Chains A and B, each alone.
Chain A
Amino acid sequence: MPHSPASPIRRDVVGWVLLAFASVLLLPWYKIESGFFSFDWLSHPAEAMPAAALSFAGRPWLAPLLLAPIAAAALVAARRTRGLGLVGALGLGWLIAEGFAIIHSGWGYAWLAALAGTKGPMQPGLGWGATFYCVAMLMLVAADLAEHGWCKGDRFVVGALLGVIAAMLLFVAYPLVSILLSAIKDNEGHVAFGLFADKFLSPGIWSLRCLGGSGSCGSAWNTVALAVLVGVLCTALGLPLALIALRTRVRAKWLLRMLSVLPIITPPFVIGLALILLFGRAGIVTTFLATHFGIPRSRWIYGMPGIAMAQVLAFTPIAFLVLVGVLQGVSPSVEEASQTLRANRWRTFRTITWPLIRPGLASAFLIAFIESMADFANPLVIGGNFNVLSTDIFFAVVGAAHDQGRAAVLAIVLLGFTIAAFVAQRRWVGRRSFVTVAGKGDGGLPAALPDRLRIGCYVATAPWLVLTLVVYAIILGGGFVTAIGRDNTPTLEYFLTAFSIEKGVNGWFLSGSAWPSLLMTIGLALVAMPLTAAIGILTAWLLDRQRFAGRGLFEFLAMMSFAIPGTVVGISYILAFNVPPVQLTGTGLIIVISFVFRNMPVSIRAGLANLAQIDKSLDEASLTLRARSFSTFRRAILPLLKPAIVTAMIYSFVRAVTAVSAVIFLVTGRFNLSTVYIVGRADVGEYGIAIVYAAVMIVVMMAVLVGIQLAVGERRLGRRRPGSEAIAAGA
């Protein structure tokens, strides 16, 4: 280039080139069956050859990969950054091409086999060598793009952006594409559009026979009907709860706050279990009604009524939290303005408050709608013969049918619904901006509720509150009696079966049946916790503070994983990661990865909310003080993001511990998880152990939440408030 001859090569570029060399010369290229971190491979070097050695040992297609580091080194030696991007892209491209072309069973594509006329060479899944190779190549591309002026020439930003995008492509987009591919192929792997059309249009999904009174409807309509019902009920309950919390002087607000936290720490199916114990054929309420009023026992709870009840109990708090945010966004001064314009409280509510919160209601409805669609565990536990998409997907894979194609088709239908709802919800949220226009200097007091409305709110929410309290009483107490409802003798039998600690010949050991899954769950959740927070906060920072082409699309993709139901994630991970080139099933790593990418939107949102409170001039001040973007991020911004980091860590931990829908596909005997274990107990009717285990989980997580809140939350409030006000004064 004429105007920039021999730009200086920075140290990090040299580092990436060295990493590229290490990845092809030193590290095992392929996956180690016994696990990389067991380091068994050090004693069996033949099973852990690096790419350089493999390319001379019968795998010549790896040889081109070696050229990339050599070319990069030559460019660096010539003090040139330009060209590194091409080298990196070619290295990466070749890795992807040969990885998909040659798999564990020979040629990866039928046309390649036809062309070559042989079964072809084989190779196992990629290992750490390949992983680091990809990272190094990606960063070389980033260095070159930065040199071309991307992101104001900032290589940290470009590198972070490419890294996050690559991770999302691999762990969000690629599995979804695998579903699509799997859906249009038959079980032999041939493309069969006819078969796809048959499966897609099957009456099991779309039948409307139940409307005519003969037979059952397809699972798609069941799912939609259920989700609409749950969405409406949750919003209808969430709004009065939010009004009570913000616009009345009810003393029991702490109760509301606690009830809003409970569903986050409650494993999702536990509410279904409690409902069975209450309203099942042998449930407490059923028995009471049968003995005292002669109402015959029935199985009405199994099916739509039970699922709907469980989901309304579980998701109303989510709608409540959304609507609290919406109501807080309504500036009190516009309501005061209305009152000074001779409108009474009822008229103010009807003409000012209500229109302003209406988009928020739609948003709450759609979020509850998505949650209901994605819910897997309650339909599993209490669904009976009522088929919904999420459970259908599961049974298509684990059942006798084992029809991955059908599971894929069902997943596509379910994903279509949730993504549509997600897109609609984002449009409403986008419109919501007019609610929160007045941020500063708003000293008004929110208008109190008109009396009729207030009493209406109490009446509407009372049954929900009572039922919630009863359900949690059952969950926390039910495991400590012999058979709740029938035989209420207190017992520690279930607790001891699950959590006993005994002294054996080798000292104390955890003999209870629940320990292995509990420890594994906590371990994996702890590993996922910092990763989720890190990638989420980094993504939030990129979204909020950087300008780049395609930012809107990037944000949409990052937040979209919220709308991908857990069952879809589970099936997509099985389809994508069961075979090379990326073979992860059966490992703990895939469970951690699923935790990270499922919970990433929560930490992105926490990060965005926190960043919105930090004036952008802080970043700029740091930049003009000779700190580059990485050091600006680390020294000036990250310390201020502590609240978001804590929130992200808590939520990712808790959500990982309570997750069931995605991981139920991914667990193995060795990597079993609490929730899957509980579902298994409930499935065989061992309600005692299931309930006691759930109660222990709730208590443990409550303790974690309260502990972190006390340790971090209070101090933050004490220190930040006066400062942040003074700093944010002149935007």
Chain B
Amino acid sequence: MSDATHNAASPAVRFEKVTKRYGDVAAVDAVSFDIAPATLVTLLGPSGCGKTTTLRLVAGLEQASEGRIFIDSADVTRLSAAERDVSMVFQSYALFPHMDVMENVSYGLRSMGMKKAEAAERAAQKLALVGLAGYEKRQPSELSGGQQQRVAVARAIVLEPKVLLFDEPLSNLDAKLRRRVREEIRDLQQALKLTVVYVTHDQEEALAVSDRIVVMNAARIVQDGTPFALYNEPASRFIADFMGDANVLDVACGERRGDVVRVDVGPMHLDVRHRGIAGRGAALAVRPHSLRLVDDPDLPNALRGRIRKRSYLGDHFEYHVEIADPAMDLYASTPASAAPIAEDRAVSVTFDPAESILIDAR
């Protein structure tokens, strides 16, 4: 289902069946994708899924075992990191501790043989762009985490690379700062029309910054699409669960009528959009906030359960509900303003078919 051949412009990055092996283990297994120019694409997945290796393959810090990598239509598969027109912002920022901010930012230009004065001028421009004018003579150790991060960004964009890479850039910042920095990164990307590949394991961060998200699991791409598509049209149980929590309910499919199909969940019958998914092995993904708990054990066409645990999380309640038929655990969240239900109460659970998604349950 790769409709990745976007519009006219040739892709800024293209992977053709790229595999990276360490011994017998494939860290990246036959991965192909295109990244359109001036877009921000996120590689998202649980730890160990191969997303960072993929990023390092783009950078040239790892060499592909098989397949081909193109940057701006040129085959760079065998080129070293220094020979690729790519820059990277590291998770640890990797600022050179023995150089001041100016020396750090102009390092790449000086590596390419630019005269010192010209390099300093270009570096100063980029420092101003990230809001660090006047910090040229500081040592990295004299900067806050957020400032260090900006230096790392300035150091990377000063080379005006064809592709800019971010490796979990927010993971060393505290929660408040993260939201602001990710907005800044997005603004910068859009203002300079940069092609950005961005690695994270945080799905909320990915949803917030990306034009497109490539979700990886176990060395392969499992889904590739816009944030909206991934959240609302998950292709698999893994995606549904990974992109925001979801309750996944095994269902039996009945007959189709037009767009919808009748499904049975224990005693409950629903008509949901079938999305072309065949009857066998289907499941229903329902977000916790889509579940409705009713403090009445006998509601018709509903699941019967018991509140096992209630947690108060400030802006909402989270319930752990034990369902008897079919035996399973569900998680529901309700606004803090709703009347709380006591633990151990028998409840009915319903949900709106429009807010549930039929998925392939593999």
A interface list, Cβ under 8 A from B: 149, 152-154, 615, 617-618, 620-629, 631, 635-636, 639-640, 720, 722-731
B86 touches A631 (CB 8 A): no
For B159, the chain A residues whose CB sits under 8 A away are 625-626
A723 touches B92 (CB 8 A): no
| Further pairs besides A640-B96, A723-B140, A726-B148: 15, Cβ < 8 Å | A615-B94, A620-B81, A620-B94, A621-B152, A621-B155, A622-B96, A622-B107, A623-B61, A624-B87, A629-B82, A723-B139, A725-B141, A727-B140, A727-B141, A728-B92
The 7 closest A-B pairs by CB, nearest first: A723-B141, A625-B108, A621-B94, A617-B94, A623-B81, A627-B111, A723-B97
Complex: A628 Cα to B107 Cα, angstroms: 12
Q: Is the CB of B93 within 8 A of A727?
A: yes
B residues whose Cβ falls under 8 Å from a Cβ of A: 59-61, 63, 78, 80-82, 84, 86-88, 90-98, 107-108, 111-112, 139-141, 145, 148, 152, 155-156, 159, 165, 171-172
Minimum CB–CB distance from A715 to chain B (whole Å) comes to 13
Contact partners of A152 in chain B: CB under 8 A? 63, 80
Smallest Cβ-Cβ distance to A642: which chain B residue: B98
For B155, list chain A residues within 8 Å (CB).
621, 625
Q: With both chains docked as a complex, state the minimum distance between the C-beta of B142 and any C-beta of chain A, in angstroms.
A: 8
Shortest beta-carbon distance, A718 to chain B, in Å? 12
Q: Are A617 and B112 in contact (CB under 8 A)?
A: no
Contact: A620 with B97, CB < 8 Å? no
Contact in complex: B92, A615 (CB < 8 Å): yes
Interface of B is mostly: loop
- Specify which chain B residues have a CB less than 8 angstroms from the CB of A626 in the assembled complex: 82, 108, 111-112, 159
CB <8 Å contact, B91 and A617: yes
- CB < 8 Å neighbour of A731 from B80, B92, B108: B92
Alpha-carbon separation in the docked complex, A724 to B63 (Å): 29
CA distance A720 to B165 in the complex (A): 29
Q: How far is the CA of A636 from the CA of B82 in the complex (A)?
A: 14
Known contacts A617-B91, A723-B140: A624-B97 contact under CB 8 Å: no
B109 to chain A, nearest CB (A): 9
Q: Which residues from chain A contact B78 at a C-beta distance below 8 Å?
A: 149, 153
When distances are taken between beta carbons in the complex, the residues of chain B under 8 Å from A629 are 82
Q: List 15 A-B contacts (CB under 8 A).
A: A615-B92, A621-B94, A622-B111, A623-B61, A624-B61, A624-B156, A625-B108, A626-B82, A626-B111, A635-B111, A724-B141, A727-B140, A730-B92, A730-B172, A731-B92
A363 to B91 Cα, complex, angstroms: 37
- Contact residue among A153, A623, A631, A640 (Cβ-Cβ distance under 8 Å from B97): A640
A729 partner residues in chain B, CB cutoff 8 A: 92, 172
- Is A618 a contact partner of B96 (Cβ separation < 8 A)? yes
Q: Which residues of A contact B111 (CB under 8 A)?
A: 622, 625-627, 631, 635
Whether B80 contacts A623 by the Cβ 8 Å rule is yes
Give Cα A130–Cα B193 distance, bound, in whole angstroms.
58
When chains A and B are docked, how far (Å) is the Cα of A635 from the Cα of B96? 10
Residues in A neighbouring B86, C-beta threshold 8 A: 624
B171 (CB) vs chain A CBs: closest residue: A730
Q: Which residues of A sit under 8 angstroms from B91, Cβ to Cβ?
A: 617, 730
Cβ-defined contact, B80 with A153, below 8 A: yes
From B63, B81, B88, B141, A726 is in contact (CB under 8 Å) with B141
- Which residue of B63, B80, B87 is within 8 Å of A625 (Cβ)? B87
- Chain A hits for B95, CB < 8 A: 621, 727
User: Closest approach, in angstroms, between the C-beta of A620 and any C-beta of chain B?
Assistant: 5
Q: Which residue of B lies closest to A618 (CB)?
A: B94
A639→B98 CA distance, assembly (Å): 7
Q: Is the CB of B92 within 8 A of A625?
A: no
CB B33 to nearest CB in A, in angstroms, measures: 21
The chain A residue with its CB closest to the CB of B81 is A623
Q: Is the CB of B108 within 8 A of A628?
A: no
